[in-house]
Amino acid sequence: MGKLKIGIFGAGRGFNLSKNFMLLNCDIVALCDKHKERREAAAKQLGGDVACYESFDEFINHDMDAVIVANDFHEHTPFVIECFKRNIHVFCECISNITMAEGVELIREFEKSKSIFMLAENYPDMIFNREMKRIVDSGTLGKVVYAEGEYNHPVSAYDKKFMKTYNYYEKHWRNFLPRSYYLTHSLGPIMRISGATPVRVACMNSYAPNTSDVPTACYVGDVASTIITTNNDGSVFRFTGCAKFGAHHHTYRICGTKGQIENLRGMGNKVMLRYNEWDKPEGMPAENLYEPKWNDPDEHLIWQGGHGGGDFITSRTFVNAVLEGKQPPHPYDIHSAVTMSSVAILAHRSALEGGMPYDIPDFHKEEDRKKYENDHLSPFWGKNGEPPTLPCCSNPDYKPTEKQLELYRALLNEPD
């Protein structure tokens, strides 16, 4: 096979990812985005040779080997399925599906195709998470029994630029995003490091709405979902979705029967590896604070990608999977992706029901698929203006104040 021909669906995040594929000697041959300004800006930066489309129906017929699916967060599934129908490989932004029925359909269509599918979850490939996996794989921690993951991304309520850039119309998905749904940055790394898969989930939310006169149309008054899973190897995970408590951080902790390793809040990429005195490896101290190294032949390229190098390594994993004709490893494969989406969806339902646990379906099994094939509940507005069918907040009656909405609408009308 020669150079891979890559199409971009979604010129914002998709364009950012495309730079990594160009570093990997792929050709960006087509670009699709419904927003003219964003489409034209990306095409200009790509050099002008890329074919541009407003319509996905036209874009998908372009000659290409793979598509970066990076459109709106809650609208990936139908477009991924269209790629499957044409045996086009898919590098899909997170999450893969936002209803349980979509997850069922996604798996069924994938099984009919010859496509490689990879979830474009980049946080497992940050340097400290790669180091944690290396240590776990070495066996010195013993059996992994517990892991934590936190993705904490607070944003100032007075950041008008952020609001206009990322929440640019009233029914935007971010204004209706349950706190558990954006969870792959917290769950993905601990699944990758440990090798475990969740089988049961429970969730409790922290409710603390902003009552100040700030511009917002957000219908979610929760600031965090705290999610607990039991896993297929007997371990337990505790992790968040996209939280906004305390200070900004993304941190992970892996505990085994002999020791633990974690990256430290506020200390860059440093990790702390600790053992019990009676279990420490020969020649090692009980406590080891250090900054890990990449030890990767592509280190000169890794730093040119985004998200601490994770974007490049994840893109490389996908390219290698396509070239080798093999599905990517856990947790990037389609069953892991749909499992993570199911955790997100069912965790939110657990929070709405006071923490009631839910079993996570095994989408390898048709009997589990049948339970959810008609489950279309969604907290988001539909593409044709259909209202949400599920509350997006643990307090179903919460909504922004009239003053907040007034300020938000005025902000959107301000000149850039």
Q: Which residues have C-beta within 8 Å of that of residue 58, sequence separation ≥ 6?
A: none
| Rounded CA separation 387/385 (Å) | 6
| Rounded CA separation 373/366 (Å) | 10
H runs (alpha helix) in 86-202: 100-112, 127-138, 160-166, 184-194
Give the three-state DSSP class for 72. coil
Three-state secondary structure along 306-329?
CHHHHHHHHHHHHHHHHHHCCCCC
| Rounded CA separation 308/304 (Å) | 9
| Rounded CA separation 153/244 (Å) | 5
Q: Which helix (H) or strand (E) holds 200?
A: strand 198-207
| Rounded CA separation 97/334 (Å) | 11
- Position 313 scores a pLDDT of 96
Q: What is the dihedral of CA 163, 168, 173, 177, to 10 degrees?
A: 10
- Position 306 scores a pLDDT of 80
Q: Is the peptide bond between 334 and the residue preceding it cis, with omega within 30 degrees of 0? A: no
Cβ atoms of 209 and 221 closer than 8 Å: yes
In sign, the C-alpha dihedral spanning 32, 38, 42, 43 is: positive
Angle at 165 between CA 159 and CA 167, to 5 degrees: 85
Give me the helix-helix angle, 13-23 and 310-324, nearest 10°. 60
Cβ atoms of 3 and 26 closer than 8 Å: yes
SS3 helix, strand, coil % of the chain, rounded to 5?
Answer: 35, 20, 45
Nearest to 239 by CA among 253, 251, 223, 228: 228
| Rounded CA separation 242/178 (Å) | 9
* pLDDT tens-place string over residues 32-51: 999 888 898 888 888 878 99
pLDDT in 10s for each residue of the chain, 416 residues: 569 999 999 998 999 999 999 999 999 999 999 988 889 888 888 887 899 999 999 999 999 999 999 999 999 999 999 999 999 999 999 999 999 999 999 999 999 999 999 999 999 999 999 999 999 999 999 999 999 999 999 999 989 899 988 999 999 999 999 999 999 999 999 999 999 999 999 999 999 999 999 999 999 999 999 999 999 999 999 999 999 998 999 999 999 999 999 999 999 999 999 999 999 999 999 999 999 999 999 999 998 888 888 999 999 999 999 999 999 999 999 999 999 999 999 999 999 999 999 999 999 999 999 999 999 999 999 989 999 999 999 999 999 999 999 999 999 998 87
Give the three-state DSSP class for 150. strand
Cβ atoms of 80 and 308 closer than 8 Å: no
Cβ atoms of 61 and 9 closer than 8 Å: no
The CATH H-level (homologous superfamily) assignment of domain 5-119 is NAD(P)-binding Rossmann-like Domain (3.40.50.720)
| Rounded CA separation 5/288 (Å) | 45
Question: What class has domain 124-299+332-372?
Answer: alpha beta
pTM summary value: 0.96
Domains in the chain: boundaries: 5-119, 124-299+332-372
One-letter identity of residue 29:
V
| Rounded CA separation 83/262 (Å) | 39
- Position 1 scores a pLDDT of 56
- Position 305 scores a pLDDT of 81
Are the folds of 5-119 and 124-299+332-372 the same?
no
| Rounded CA separation 117/120 (Å) | 9
Nearest to 345 by CA among 187, 195, 213, 211: 187
One-letter identity of residue 30:
A
